[in-house]
Structure 1
Amino acid sequence: MADHHHLPPEPVEERRHHKGGKAVLADDLKPRSRYGYYYGGGGGPARTLCFVVLVFLLLAGITALVLYLVYRPSRPALDVTAVAVYSLNASTTAAAGGRGASPASGPGVPTAVVASFQFTLVIRNPNGRSAARYDRLAAYVSYRGEPITAPVPMPPLVQDADSAVAVAPVLGGGAPVPVSPDAAAALATDVSYGVLALRVVVLGRVQFVSGPFRSGWRSMYARCDLLVGVRKGVAGSPEAPLLGNPACAVDM
């Protein structure tokens, strides 16, 4: 019977390293990738796709921010440079119908104002890269928070970048506008003193155009507070001086 010779197994001690009294296999001493340890072998297509999407979103956000800062439009600016007063009369409703009367002196008496003005408005587009389009424009005059002229429509307007345009609408001159007795009395007093505080209100919407980019239509509310020098018999001398510096505010 043939003898079978078997090689003795390799001692375990030769394949182990002792460290701190504990046996450590040689395979355990091989360096491992930090990322492979956490992601199970270096990731894969899903991880690469997530990285590409993240970079794309980051670049898109940076591009959108740069375009917004470069093409961000500023609100238009308005100035009142001249005013003419063609008619201005505060009276009772009966007087507006033709019977002479003084401003209402008691409560419950209906009063109205018959007024006609022409204002020269300068509209400025301060944007150097964007043109402006105005639509649905209308203007009226108020006194002490009460309208004394009906809203008057104004034609649409297209304005180049960094430019100014002057418009001169005639406001009022139609039917009498009802006001409170207090406003009618105060108006008559201010006219007798020769100084009148008025507010010109311009409503509408504006759109900015810069090359292929167009903003949405945005509502515009502009108000200009001014002091006007008036005298009796203003119909004979319609030009009225502007006192102080008229201030205009524009909300969008």
Structure 2
Amino acid sequence: MGNPDPGKDPRPVLCKVIAVFLLLAGATALTVWLVYRPHKPRFRVVGAAIYDLNATAPPFISTSMQFTLVTRNPNKRVDIIYDKLSAYVSYRNQQITPPVVLPPLYHETKSTVALSPVLGGVPVPVSAEVVNGLVMDESYGVVNLRVVLLGRLRWKAGAIRTVRYGVYVKCDVWVGLKKGIVGQVPLLGAPPCKVDI
């Protein structure tokens, strides 16, 4: 029984095998990412209706609004699954409607989906600045509102689903609104929404 041959140490071979495996795994992950890399969904407000806007009982505001949002999945190979999604309206960075939970949404590749949530219906406490601003803007006939969507989404490519990611959608809209007019209101400006994931 002699000493083992020092030239037969298995560690260098094991290190090479691990390095080759990691290199192949990295190349595979990069290829999959390049083929399936998901693009953010696109959102845009295309319609608005104001059924009630009562700012006469400070510090509360009561409103009922409906916004039609169109969302587009621009991906060719990746579906989007919205597990949790809620919407509310803000004015001057203050929430003026309570959050409304939207139903789960499965968004297939290259498809467009319309959402039309009715928001509001419950008085919300706001600052005097918000009440005064709304009254003033309403007298001018133009009100700048922000529709906000918050939630979680997953990307799905074939049988593969990613972890959940937070999604934050901000849609700034300018609506034509005059005191006493209810129902459909003109959209005076509605640029594409900003989507953060």
TM, length-normalised to structure 2: 0.91
Q: CA shift at 1:50, angstroms?
A: 2.9
- The 2-side partners of 1:180 and 1:115 are apart by 15
Matched, 1:189 2:145: no
Matched, 1:130 2:78: yes
Q: Secondary structure at the match of 1:91?
A: strand
The one of 68, 89, 97 equivalent to 1:120 is 68
Question: What is the one-letter code of the residue matched to 2:118?
Answer: V
1:164-243 pair list within 5 angstroms: 164-173=112-121, 175-235=122-182, 238-243=183-188
- The 2-side partners of 1:211 and 1:204 are apart by 23
1:87-106 pair list within 5 angstroms: 87-93=52-58
Q: CA shift at 1:172, angstroms?
A: 0.8
Q: More strand per residue: 1 or 2? A: 2
The one of 55, 67, 84 equivalent to 2:20 is 55
Q: CA shift at 1:118, angstroms?
A: 0.6
> Which range moved further: 146-155 or 242-251?
242-251
Max radius of gyration: which structure?
Answer: 1
Q: Which residue of 1 aligns with 2:193?
A: 248
Q: Which residue of 2 aligns with 1:107?
A: none
- The 2-side partners of 1:176 and 1:188 are apart by 16
Deviations 1:218-250 (A, max 9, x none): 111111001000112122xx1111113433111
Q: CA shift at 1:44, angstroms?
A: 6.0
Q: CA shift at 1:46, angstroms?
A: 4.0
Deviations 1:23-59 (A, max 9, x none): xxxxxxxxxxxxxxxxx99776543333333222211
Q: CA shift at 1:71, angstroms?
A: 1.5
Q: Secondary structure at the match of 1:247?
A: coil
Q: Secondary structure at the match of 1:223?
A: strand
Identical counterparts, % of pairs: 50
- The 2-side partners of 1:41 and 1:124 are apart by 64
Deviations 1:109-138 (A, max 9, x none): xx2211111100111111111111112211
- The 1-side partners of 2:116 and 2:190 are apart by 19
Where structure 2 has 5 or more consecutive residues not aligned to the other structure, the ranges are none
- The 1-side partners of 2:67 and 2:190 are apart by 15
TM, length-normalised to structure 1: 0.72
Calculate the aligned-residue CA RMSD, in Å: 1.8
Where structure 1 has 5 or more consecutive residues not aligned to the other structure, the ranges are 1-39, 94-110
Higher relative contact order (CA 8 A, sep 6+): 2
Kept in 2: contact 1:226–1:247 (CA 8 A): no
